[in-house]
Structure 1
Amino acid sequence: MKIFAYTDGSSRGNPGRGGYGVVLIAPEKRVKKEFSMGFRKTTNNRMELLAAIVALEKLKAPQQDITIFTDSKYVCNAVNKRWVFNWEKTGYKSKKNPDLWQRFLRNFRKHQVKMEWVKGHAGYHWNELADQLATQAADAEDLKIDLGYERQENFNF
């Protein structure tokens, strides 16, 4: 069964309040699910990456065939140009967001993943919905703590 994920991240300031949005679609089963969450202090790149992670983590069975659509060149290029695999080999030396990249790769390896870049704010319906979910989450009242970001920030003196 083919699954499509439309993902987006948002940050109100960089760093600032942020959120992610995910729309998962399984056309054969005629199922669409939406996920989002907001954080009190994070970055846009972290939210873009977290959206892709959440899409993978929501899959119930291993070896799912999933295409992730993202408007983040950071996320798409890191995978498609295989940068993240080199970062992993070097222990993410001097790279941002190693906590999320490690989590991404754990989930990436469980499935058959294809990454597709789409231009943001260009009228792609499901990508626009993911964007709305992400911005609404960033603007919500009960924001979570992005522990990975805040711990990292506290160590950068």
Structure 2
Amino acid sequence: MIESPDGERTEHCGFIQKRGTNNIAELTAAIESLRRIPEGAEVILCSDSQYTLKGLGEWLPGWIRKGWKTASGSPVLNQEHWKLLHQEYLTRKVRLEWVRGHNGHPENETADQLANRGLTLG
């Protein structure tokens, strides 16, 4: 779900064709959301995904510095998705905001409903 500064909301959902994991779905949702927002815009990326938010806000610079390797030297999982998300992130002014999932947060509950609707598209 995307909310513009004037309060207008648009809802989007999709289906991952290839076998996907929860982490891939979370990254894909962030990528597709940012793609729908003009480059250069100020954005609050609100998510219950610690994986996505910590990846963008904390882990990504180290992964890039280490040639897409983790602290243990293993290749970063879902690297192709992280690279796409990083590209979208760099072209907008993004502030990251975590919300607790399944805790009654209205927008997060809507996002969960959209994710479940996306499952029916496949």
TM-score norm. by structure 2 comes to 0.88
Where does structure 1 differ by over 4 angstroms across 4 or more consecutive aligned residues? none
Q: For 2:11, what is the secondary structure of its paired residue?
A: strand
Higher relative CO (Cα under 8 Å, sequence separation at least 6) belongs to: 2
Higher strand share: 1
Task: Return the alpha-carbon distance in structure 1 between the equivalents of residues 29 and 96 of structure 2.
Answer: 13
Indicate the SS of the match to 2:15.
Answer: strand
> Is 1:109 the equivalent of 2:90?
yes
> Aligned partners of 1:38 and 1:45: how far apart in 2?
14
Secondary structure of residue in 2 paired with 1:36: coil
Question: Secondary structure of the residue that 2:12 maps to in structure 1?
Answer: strand
Structure 2, unmatched stretches of 5+, are 70-74
Instruction: Give the CA deviation at 1:46.
Output: 0.7
1:51 aligns with 2:29: yes
The one-letter amino acid paired with 1:84 is: L
In the alignment, the residues of structure 2 paired with residue 43 and residue 34 of structure 1 have an alpha-carbon distance, to the nearest angstrom, of: 22
Q: Percent same amino acid among aligned pairs?
A: 29
Segments of 5+ residues of structure 1 without an aligned counterpart are 1-22, 144-157
Q: CA deviation at 1:86?
A: 1.4
Q: For the aligned residues, what is the CA RMSD? A: 1.3
Amino acid at match of 1:102: K
Residue among 45, 50, 54 paired with 1:68: 45
TM-score, normalised relative to structure 1: 0.70
Q: Tell me by how many angstroms 1:27 deviates.
A: 3.2
Matches within 5 A, 1:78-97: 78-81=55-58, 83-93=59-69, 94-97=75-78
Count of matched residue positions in the alignment of Structure 1 and Structure 2: 116
Deviation, 1:90, is: 2.3
Q: Which residue of 2 aligns with 1:121?
A: 102
Paired position in structure 1 for 2:72: none
